[in-house]
A and B are shown apart, each in its own frame.
Chain A
């Protein structure tokens, strides 16, 4: 008990004693001394408390219950939540693929003509991206946001993939060059790489709880891939087999096709993380819709009043209406 509270308690006790017993002179004098001491402490306290910004903040809101959470704790908690979304998560790439297409032009005596269209696609089969979240940077931003900058590492992984290449001759090339399709089983490799995912959490006050709802509108990661050396050799061989005069050799260049494939792998394939991976969480201090008082349940009506960031603290307030029952 603090000196002020001891003084107040002693004052109450003395006044009680004064009521119960006869008021002799000593008791009266003691009460007067305590009153003077109490009054002086009270005034000093009021003057000092009025100057405290945190006290002013607490009294700024309506509501019977106020929850104040320090920015450091919220940043730590929500940072861990954000990291857990993507830490040790495996993205199955079988439904993802890489695609590229284009037209091939050649200068001829008729001028520059389109000799064909090519289409390249890679199905990623059994390949997977293994994600590791790093330590996020989190910061409160008034009025109710938590900005998150989350480093995401992707570990090296190997898997089977399938390469499809199509050549569709057109114009003059059609006369001398057959269309062709080629499908190759290859071995792919997800390269180790680092990304950053930026977003925010929107803090909300429902009355019953404080929520942190993730907002990560840009959820795409560009996964950079490569093929094993033997697979590159296989692709080169496949393209080279078409590089003959009877096929498309006079128009196609296997090395050029290979270079385009390398570019495609190096640029990465776009993997959009599902929205549902980012889940709303409730902060661990909540209000109850009923409490036990003297072993009886008492129902409560909760109404959110405010939510704001102030003095490096998240302040929220709730009005609580006690639902009374008819008296027995």
Chain B
């Protein structure tokens, strides 16, 4: 990214660029806290707080809460570090969906989670499906449609059916800097069968 910036091609998007502020993603995550789930390897995690920091290529998502083993009465305060590493366009709705991967886990009192590298086991559990049990889906409130719709006309003198210009859309890449997530979208007009209209 530094090399691209030095070449002046940091934002060489072709068609559409969607820029999302870290504060919005943080607010979205906070809106659904607390989150809790059995994340695997016998761990139960409850997230009470979420923060985001988007910079230098990493869309960092920091989720804080507690983890405990099975039905243990006492747990440990944990912070789960994740990163938005992909953004895809949902093929049905066109809404942008974030993919989040695990960077690591920090525990204040790891001993409360058992023996034999409990933090490592918790990290492994989250990385192997546990995170999606804890946070199942994160949408960005932007919809990229696969058509441009021209509405119908239905008046006394004029009847024209609605028409769609089909589009091919795809999320090409993301970049992260300056507190923002930058999503590059390619959009192209697809060939379509023509529809006749009539007016009087």
Say whether A4 contacts B56, CB under 8 Å.
Answer: yes
A16-B149 Cα distance, complex, nearest whole Å: 50
Say whether A274 contacts B158, CB under 8 Å.
Answer: yes
Say whether A55 contacts B135, CB under 8 Å.
Answer: no
User: Which positions 272-328 of chain A face chain B at CB distance < 8 Å?
Assistant: 273-274, 276-277, 279-296, 298, 300, 302, 320, 322-325, 327-328
Q: How far is the CB of B141 from chain A (nearest CB, A)?
A: 4
Report the contact-size class of chain B (Cβ under 8 Å from the partner): 35 or more
Q: How far is the CB of A322 from chain B (nearest CB, A)?
A: 4
Does B67 count as interface, using CB distance less than 8 angstroms? Answer: no
A288-B94 Cα distance, complex, nearest whole Å: 10
A274-B20 Cα distance, complex, nearest whole Å: 41
Given A16-B104, A286-B143, A48-B137 contact (CB < 8 Å): no
Inter-chain contacts of A282 with B (CB < 8 A) = 149
Residue of A nearest to B48 (CB): A327
Does A32 count as interface, using CB distance less than 8 angstroms? Answer: no
Inter-chain contacts of B158 with A (CB < 8 A) = 274, 276-277
Given A274-B158, A284-B187, A20-B56 contact (CB < 8 Å): no
Inter-chain contacts of A296 with B (CB < 8 A) = 31-32
- What is the size, in residues, of chain A's interface with B at 8 Å between Cβ atoms? 84
Partner of A277, one of B55, B160, B185, B195: B160
A240-B147 Cα distance, complex, nearest whole Å: 61
Given A69-B16, A274-B157, A95-B200 contact (CB < 8 Å): yes
A58-B198 Cα distance, complex, nearest whole Å: 43
Residue of B nearest to A278 (CB): B153
Does A267 count as interface, using CB distance less than 8 angstroms? Answer: no
Does A81 count as interface, using CB distance less than 8 angstroms? Answer: yes
A298-B33 Cα distance, complex, nearest whole Å: 12
Does B142 count as interface, using CB distance less than 8 angstroms? Answer: yes
Given A4-B56, A70-B16, A84-B165, A77-B148 contact (CB < 8 Å): yes
A-B contact count (CB 8 A): 254
User: Which positions 1-56 of chain B face chain A at CB distance < 8 Å?
Assistant: 1-3, 5-6, 8, 10-11, 13-21, 23-24, 27-35, 55-56
Consensus secondary structure, chain A interface: mixed
Residue of B nearest to A322 (CB): B27
Say whether B18 contacts A49, CB under 8 Å.
Answer: no
Interface string of B69-96 (1 = CB under 8 A from A): 0000000000001010100000000010
A25-B113 Cα distance, complex, nearest whole Å: 27
Say whether B187 contacts A295, CB under 8 Å.
Answer: no
Does B105 count as interface, using CB distance less than 8 angstroms? Answer: yes
Say whether B57 contacts A70, CB under 8 Å.
Answer: no
Say whether A89 contacts B197, CB under 8 Å.
Answer: yes
A88-B15 Cα distance, complex, nearest whole Å: 29
Say whether B147 contacts A65, CB under 8 Å.
Answer: no
Residue of A nearest to B140 (CB): A291
Say whether A19 contacts B106, CB under 8 Å.
Answer: yes
Given A12-B104, A66-B19, A52-B5 contact (CB < 8 Å): yes
Inter-chain contacts of B165 with A (CB < 8 A) = 77, 80-81, 84
Say whether B34 contacts A328, CB under 8 Å.
Answer: yes
A41-B135 Cα distance, complex, nearest whole Å: 32
Say whether B103 contacts A13, CB under 8 Å.
Answer: yes
Say whether B137 contacts A295, CB under 8 Å.
Answer: yes
Say whether A287 contacts B143, CB under 8 Å.
Answer: yes
Inter-chain contacts of B197 with A (CB < 8 A) = 87-90, 277
Say whether A13 contacts B141, CB under 8 Å.
Answer: no
Partner of A16, one of B32, B105, B140, B163: B105
Residue of A nearest to B81 (CB): A12
Inter-chain contacts of A288 with B (CB < 8 A) = 95, 139, 141-143
Inter-chain contacts of B83 with A (CB < 8 A) = 9
Say whether B157 contacts A64, CB under 8 Å.
Answer: no
Residue of A nearest to B8 (CB): A52
Question: Other than the known A58-B17, A64-B23, A67-B142, what 4 A-B pairs have Cβ atoms closer than 8 Å?
Answer: A16-B104, A20-B106, A285-B143, A291-B95
Interface residues of B (CB under 8 A from A): 1-3, 5-6, 8, 10-11, 13-21, 23-24, 27-35, 55-58, 60, 81, 83, 85, 95, 103-107, 110, 119, 134-151, 153, 155, 157-158, 160, 163, 165, 167, 169, 175-178, 180, 182, 185, 187, 189, 194-200
18 contacts between A and B (CB under 8 A): A1-B57, A3-B1, A38-B56, A41-B2, A49-B177, A51-B8, A58-B180, A73-B16, A81-B148, A88-B197, A89-B199, A277-B160, A279-B150, A286-B145, A288-B143, A293-B31, A293-B135, A322-B27
